[in-house]
Structure 1
Amino acid sequence: MRILVTGFDPFGGEKINPALEAVKLLPNEIAGHEIKKLEIPTVFHKSKDVIQTHLQQSQYDIVLAIGQVGGRYEITPERVGINIDDARIPDNEGNQPIDEPIQQAGEAAYFSNLPVKRMTEAMKKCGVPARLSNTAGTFVCNHILYQLGYLQATQFSYIKFGFIHVPFIPEQVTDKPEKPSMSIDTIVKGLLAALEAIVEYDDDIKVALGETH
């Protein structure tokens, strides 16, 4: 299998994005399966366009996007991306919208077709704090999970797709004492455990997991 793992660039005044830094530290293969890494902008629609172009140029079996979420203590695989793309187009920084409306075809939501419960339990089993999340927020992370579902439904039916949120790393919270953090080594360890679960299993386990934040 060929796996595409994406990480967002820094945003919101941060000089570093732990998602991208962790992606860079992943190996180039896992259990004999090739891993390709891709940096994407933290910008509505442009992030989707970069992934879509990459999928058109090379065939992948799995697309896993990684993003930063400040305030969470655990690594959180996301279950679902919701359609909020019928809102107005944000500016180039992904902040305030401009006046042109955008029409987004597609379902109200798309659920990841990865074994998200297995991924969560695999991370916990190797000692990494993890929880399954039922809300990817309303920023570009949710947007890209939704758009991956839309691309799978309309153009790339063979792919499996999903999204994982990771916490801040310690150097990001020196001026945010109320915010939790996780070492980059622990984040990478968790992502590797999740990837191992992805390549090993097609189906998910039947246990009650998932919460909002």
Structure 2
Amino acid sequence: MEKINVIISGYDHYEGVQVNPSMEVARALAERGITPSHDSVKGEDPLDRLSMQIKAVALPVSFEQAWPILHQAIEEFQPNIVISTGLKRRARSIAMERCAVNIKDTTQEGESAERSLTSNGEPIDSKGPAAYWTRLPLRSILHAFSQHGIAATLSSDAGTYVCNAVFYSILNWAKAHPDVLAGFVSLPPVVDATATNQRNLGLPLEQQIQAGQDVVREAVRYYIQPSSCDMLIA
């Protein structure tokens, strides 16, 4: 039986954020695994033929610490797929990030937890390319979201903070590991599923966990049976 290792990272709680969905989703996926999908076409699901292990990695909101911690976990776990997640406070749906840019800049207004970090338009890697495209099968992931009624969009702006820096660093590392799939998912704030006065302010945690399962499931399927029609970066 083929074995697939998946790392999914999220960020610890920080000031002003009571529930950080990125770490909650990562931990839930590691604990629950990937539930069978009832939306696939009839016939054998390739996921039935493999053993999957998911490792959650907690990252601090720090340029200096986040990537080294994730890199160490990657070296130890040897994943086939690396999915990083982070909270995008202004998002109202899941945002599948298309690209990571080679810049870290905290001079613009953004997440308060990162304003204390000092970085003014510096490159993440002075010898690296300007940007990298995601390696995740965005088209099939968005289709899975639509099947489960999960609000989602494509994004070409992962910001210039720690989330983007980790995203870029993963893909920069993956340049030397062409068989590894990697990408970034931005998550919206968590809202109470029973509340009636929080419309369009985010998504319930369970729905975000379902989205995380869809991302992992479709990434694994693509890893096993790659298809160009599942990619969507433009």
The answer to whether the superposition gives a TM-score over 0.5 is yes
Seen in structure 2, the aligned counterparts of structure 1 residues 204 and 126 have a Cα distance that, compared at 3 Å, is farther
1:164 matched to 2:185: yes
**Bigger shift: residues 79-88 or 180-189:** 79-88
- Is contact 1:116–1:204 with CA below 8 Å preserved after alignment? no
Seen in structure 2, the aligned counterparts of structure 1 residues 75 and 97 have a Cα distance that, compared at 3 Å, is closer
Which amino acid letter does the alignment assign opposite residue 115 of structure 1? P
Please point out which of 194, 198, 206 is paired with 1:185: 206
Tell me how far apart the structure 1 counterparts of residues 68 and 147 of structure 2 sit (CA, whole Å): 36
Tell me how far apart the structure 2 counterparts of residues 99 and 186 of structure 1 sit (CA, whole Å): 34
1:199 matched to 2:220: yes
1:2 matched to 2:5: yes
- Is contact 1:8–1:42 with CA below 8 Å preserved after alignment? yes
Please point out which of 116, 127, 149 is paired with 1:127: 149
- Is contact 1:76–1:120 with CA below 8 Å preserved after alignment? no
Q: How does 1:43-54 map to 2 (within 5 A)?
A: 43-54=62-73
Give the 3-state SS of the residue equivalent to 1:38 in structure 2. strand
- Is contact 1:78–1:135 with CA below 8 Å preserved after alignment? yes
Tell me the equivalent position of 2:44.
none
**Bigger shift: residues 201-210 or 8-17:** 201-210
- TM-superposed CA distance for 1:179, in Å, is 6.9
Seen in structure 2, the aligned counterparts of structure 1 residues 111 and 12 have a Cα distance that, compared at 3 Å, is farther
Please point out which of 134, 137, 150 is paired with 1:115: 137
Tell me the equivalent position of 2:26.
23
Which amino acid letter does the alignment assign opposite residue 95 of structure 1? R
Tell me the equivalent position of 2:57.
38
**Structure with max Cα Rg:** 2
Which amino acid letter does the alignment assign opposite residue 66 of structure 2? S
1:79 matched to 2:87: no
RMSD of the TM alignment (CA)?
2.9
How many residues get paired? Answer: 202
1:106 matched to 2:109: no
**Bigger shift: residues 58-67 or 25-34:** 25-34
Give the 3-state SS of the residue equivalent to 1:57 in structure 2. helix
- TM-superposed CA distance for 1:29, in Å, is 3.6
1:95 matched to 2:115: yes
1:53-88 deviation line (CA, Å, top 9, x unaligned): 112222110000011111222111111000104899
Tell me how far apart the structure 2 counterparts of residues 208 and 79 of structure 1 sit (CA, whole Å): 8
Tell me how far apart the structure 1 counterparts of residues 136 and 232 of structure 2 sit (CA, whole Å): 16
- TM-superposed CA distance for 1:169, in Å, is 0.6
Identity of aligned residues (%): 22
Seen in structure 2, the aligned counterparts of structure 1 residues 106 and 99 have a Cα distance that, compared at 3 Å, is closer
**Bigger shift: residues 115-124 or 59-68:** 115-124
Tell me the equivalent position of 1:146.
168
Tell me how far apart the structure 2 counterparts of residues 7 and 107 of structure 1 sit (CA, whole Å): 25
Give the 3-state SS of the residue equivalent to 2:10 in structure 1. strand
